[in-house]
Amino acid sequence: MQERIILFDLDGTLTDSGPGIMKASQFALRAYGVERDWQELDFFVGPPLDETFGQFMPKEDIPGAIDQFRVYYHDVGWLENEPYPGVREMLDTLQKNGFRLFVATSKLESMAVQVLGHFGLAPYFEAICGAPGDNTQAGKKVNVIRAALQKAGCTDLTQAMIVGDRKHDIIGGKLAGIRTAGILYGYGSREELAQAGADLICRTPEEFTKIMLSEQQGDKRMNATERKIAEDLLSIRAVFFRPDEPFTWASGIKSPIYCDNRLTLTAPVVRGHVEAGLAGIVRTKFPGAEVLMGTSTAGIAHAAITATILDLPMGYVRSGSKDHGRGNRIEGKLEKGQKVVVIEDLISTGGSCIEVVNALREAGAEVLGVASIFTYGMKKGLERLKEADVVNYSLSNLDALVEVAAEEGYIEPGDKARLLKFRDNPSDESWMDK
């Protein structure tokens, strides 16, 4: 099991610093002739101060306002603060279970150290990273996250996560290429966190702890994403089980299962989970991606939506060249040497996926790999991908699907072994024997 790194925001995540921050903001605004009830200034909790003060005054006045803020906060505001219920227990449990903990905050680093030391929380963290002095750029969320990852010596971004209560935490985490978790007991809403693209949203420290421990225990079996996508596919009936009346694939293979991922497009909630998951694969596994290419036809829509999330160009690859017009097989602009990630809906034996990769390589692209919704995990498919030097990451797989289906009563307990036997060798029809 690889080490897991969790970065925590401070204000609104570990401690309820709202009253002190809001009163310090009121003090600073008053110095510039702006009167506001301090209880109306909750949006000052979390974002960098230059952003929030910029809503009230011209750019040239912001440094002075920040100085005024710090006068109040250093004297009184930092004490108008307390850890959220359950936070200490969360940190203690995570640390004892081998998680490496860090703080990544836009607050002045010296003040963050003072606050966490005062409440006895500092010993839980390997490092506390915040804004160094008046360098506003260094204090941007993405930059303090990157500083924390550097201190952690993190070489695998898939093992790192940022936890925060506002969109700035989520956006910063995504820019840094790591997973994100939003918490609802702070100052951000579920809508704000969801719109920012949080991978997880948790109501309490206890819920977050439970999920992390569950993922840790399931690292070698099924992670949270595999389970969630499996649940999603089952919930919209994108998966059909017929072990006693098997489907016949175009290859002639008799299958006890049929997966129609096109149905995810007509289910907005599930579609959101799928596209966020595909975007997460691209960010973490293929951070150098320059273009997304969908497979025809099922992968095209997913490539388009994922490319929109990531703000990347996209195109698609036809199953064969057009017999009219320009005769293109690859649609969309593709320059030689560009780094491409293929978006695929489903992988069984891997043949069609490899054809797409080869077409892109022949066009001069550097194919980093494939991001897919679902894979059967068939031995033949895995071997073909390896021989073709194609790397694939799927959101879910047959093993996870069968596990969830058995738990939730979609299949009989005895069918579980039959489905996995089919996966091991689809050509051997003995799986049909009860």
Structure confidence at residue 336 (pLDDT) = 95
pLDDT band at 81 (very low <50, low <70, confident <90, very high): confident
pLDDT of residue 344: 97
| pTM of the complete model | 0.53
**What is the predicted pLDDT for the residue at 220?**
44
Q: Reduce the DSSP state of residue 420 to 3 states and report it.
A: helix
Closest CA to 344 of 379, 383, 390: 390
Going by the DSSP 8-state scheme, the letter that residue 15 receives in this structure is: B
Q: What integer pLDDT is reported at residue 122 of this predicted model? A: 96
Among 85-94, 204-213, 413-422, where is mean pLDDT lowest? 413-422
User: Is the CATH number 1.10.3720.10 carried by domain 5-13+82-218?
Assistant: no
- Look up the CATH number of domain 18-79: 1.10.150.240
Beta bridge partners of 314: 292
Burial class of 284 by CB neighbour count within 10 A (0 to 12, 13 to 18, 19+): middle
pLDDT at 409 over 80: yes
Sorted by sequence, the CB contacts under 8 Å of residue 133 that are 6+ apart come out as: 108
Question: Quick one: pLDDT at residue 425?
Answer: 87
What is the residue-wise DSSP string for 199-214?
Answer: SEEESSHHHHHHHHHH
Do 5-13+82-218 and 18-79 come out as alike in CATH topology?
no
Q: CA-CA distance, 112 to 17, in Å (whole number)?
A: 11
The mean per-residue pLDDT over the stretch 344-353 comes to 93
322, pLDDT greater than 60? no
pLDDT at 45: 82
Check residue 47 and give its pLDDT: 76
Overall fold of domain 226-432: Rossmann fold (3.40.50)
Structural domain boundaries of the chain?
A: 5-13+82-218, 18-79, 226-432
Q: Summarize pLDDT for 109-163 with one digit per residue, the tens.
A: 998 999 999 999 999 999 999 988 665 565 589 999 999 999 999 878 888 999 9
71-99 mean pLDDT: 91
